[in-house]
Amino acid sequence: MYELIEKSEIFNVHKMVIKAPEIASSIKPGQFVIIMGNEYSERIPITASDWNTDTGAITLYVLELGISTLELARMKVGDSLYVVTGPLGTPSEIKKYGTVALGSGCYGIGGIYPIAKACKEAGNKVISIIEARYSSMFYHEKELHAVSDQVLYATSDGSKGKKGKVEDVIGEMLEKGVKIDHAFFMGCTQMLERCSEATRPYAIPTKVALNSIMLDGTGMCGACRVSVGGETKFACVDGPEFDGHKVDWKELNRRRSAYTEQESVVYQSYSHECMAEKKLRQEL
């Protein structure tokens, strides 16, 4: 079950191609899966980047951040994941908008690809904007180029494209009068917020894929609740995409950081385990 059939690493983002044929034949752009590397893991929600109904494989880009994703990162081709559940969440609303801008960074570059692809297939002009710290951190570029009319880059060090971030690129476009009819953003919360602020003055309909803490992913627990336009929504079933101009970012950031202390505890226990393992090997 859920065999890992391909794996590679781009800095701390890990490409994992996993056998999950039922999910591959039912998932839609914007939906996610929940995975567990082993029976002790947390349940980790990951947006699906690609899927193939012929091979039954799904492609995920997993950001290594915390113990459960670190353990996922250590898995090898041929290993099996303990849990792959999905598809979860409401699919992106895809239609002919006109010109669609899709901004992403980090794991979002992989995650936003199927939305870009579907937008292209729906007859939109697709402008993809991706950000990273250095040019060598980009990935999935060939695929993104294939479904985009234009791919624009932003890097913190200026090594590729504009020196800056996605919102700088999009801000400049809007200032120049480029007409954008719809925007999608995927990446860290800070990026989603800044990009939403960039499109707000131009009243561009903006969808952001939120990454609040989740547990079951079926609406049962409410861990992922977010305030959107003053209403409480569950990101796992009502989202993950919401109107970026209505999200309560402060609350989202605060709720996302709720377990920082516990995460550090588990890291310490992990390094302790590794030390124990090392000691054992030395003794042998």
First vs last Cα of the chain: how many Å apart? Answer: 34
State the Cα–Cα distance between residues 114 and 94, nearest whole angstrom.
11
Cβ distance to another protein smaller for residue 88 or 147: 88
Cβ distance to another protein smaller for residue 84 or 137: 84
| CA-to-CA separations, 101 to 106, 115, 133, 230, in angstroms, rounded | 17, 11, 21, 26
State the Cα–Cα distance between residues 243 and 265, nearest whole angstrom.
35
State the Cα–Cα distance between residues 217 and 85, nearest whole angstrom.
9
Cβ distance to another protein smaller for residue 8 or 26: 26
- Shortest gap between Cβ of 178 and another protein (angstroms)? 37
Cβ distance to another protein smaller for residue 5 or 215: 215
Sequence-distant (6+) residues with CB within 8 A of 13 are 61, 62, 63, 64, 106, 107, 110, 139
> What's 247's DSSP letter?
B
- Shortest gap between Cβ of 237 and another protein (angstroms)? 7
State the Cα–Cα distance between residues 58 and 77, nearest whole angstrom.
14
- Shortest gap between Cβ of 271 and another protein (angstroms)? 11
- Shortest gap between Cβ of 219 and another protein (angstroms)? 5
Query: Residues 144, 61: contact at Cβ < 8 Å?
Result: no
CA-closest candidate to residue 149, choices 171, 191, 108, 178: 178
- Positions that interact with another protein (CB under 8 A): 22-23, 26, 31, 36, 39-43, 67-68, 71, 82-88, 215-223, 225, 227, 232, 234, 237, 250-251, 254-255, 258-259, 262-263, 265-266, 269-270
Cβ distance to another protein smaller for residue 5 or 266: 266
Query: Residues 83, 72: contact at Cβ < 8 Å?
Result: no
- Shortest gap between Cβ of 129 and another protein (angstroms)? 30
- Shortest gap between Cβ of 278 and another protein (angstroms)? 19
- Shortest gap between Cβ of 118 and another protein (angstroms)? 18
Cβ distance to another protein smaller for residue 42 or 64: 42
- Shortest gap between Cβ of 217 and another protein (angstroms)? 8
Cβ distance to another protein smaller for residue 200 or 250: 250
User: What is the per-residue burial (b if ≥16 Cβ within 10 Å, else e) of 127-141?
Assistant: bbbbbbeeeebbbbe
